[in-house]
Amino acid sequence: MTTGMTEQFIIATVDVALAAQNAVVAAESLGLGICYIGAVRNDPQTVSDLLELPDNVYPVFGLCIGAPAQDPEVKPRLPLGTVLMEETYRDEGQRDGIADYDETMRAYYRSRTGGTKESTWTEEMARLLEGERRPHMKGFLADRGFEMR
């Protein structure tokens, strides 16, 4: 078997995300809280060493599950009509849905932080996607055996 191919990387990443989401649904149905931790990719080698991960395995994210210390309101999500498309991709109506969601998120952040955070979803996504983020991951994945061919 050839290992380290791009398709295998995609399959592994999708599989771990699906497994985690199922664990999250089960945990939340039991009244537990969850928190995904993407920051494990800030130093993936240390995490890999700690967990003794073999080649062709990498830490995608951490997942904390436990009894929540708070009971915060549920974070609003993008409206279904803005993200669900049938048959083909379309972008009509998305701008209005996103603009409405931005105002919902501004109010949510304001409420959640006692007025110390004034931001929208669009602003948060722009910050997340600007510039290089975790450029070390390409080399790390190659070292783990993912040749991406």
DSSP character string of 106-139: HHHHHHHTTT-----HHHHHHHHHSS---THHHH
On whether both 67 and 4 belong to a single domain, the answer is yes
Q: pTM value?
A: 0.79
On whether both 7 and 61 belong to a single domain, the answer is yes
pLDDT above 80: residue 1: no
pLDDT above 60: residue 123: yes
Query: Which residues constitute the domain of residue 37?
Result: 1-71+132-149
On whether both 31 and 9 belong to a single domain, the answer is yes
**Average pLDDT over every residue of 68-85:** 88
On whether both 35 and 1 belong to a single domain, the answer is yes
On whether both 3 and 57 belong to a single domain, the answer is yes
CA atoms within 13 A on the CB side of 54: 2
pLDDT at 18: 98
Q: What is the spatial distance between Cα 79 and Cα 98, in angstroms, rounded to a whole number?
A: 8
On whether both 6 and 65 belong to a single domain, the answer is yes
Q: How many domains does the chain have?
A: 2
On whether both 81 and 108 belong to a single domain, the answer is yes
pLDDT above 90: residue 104: yes
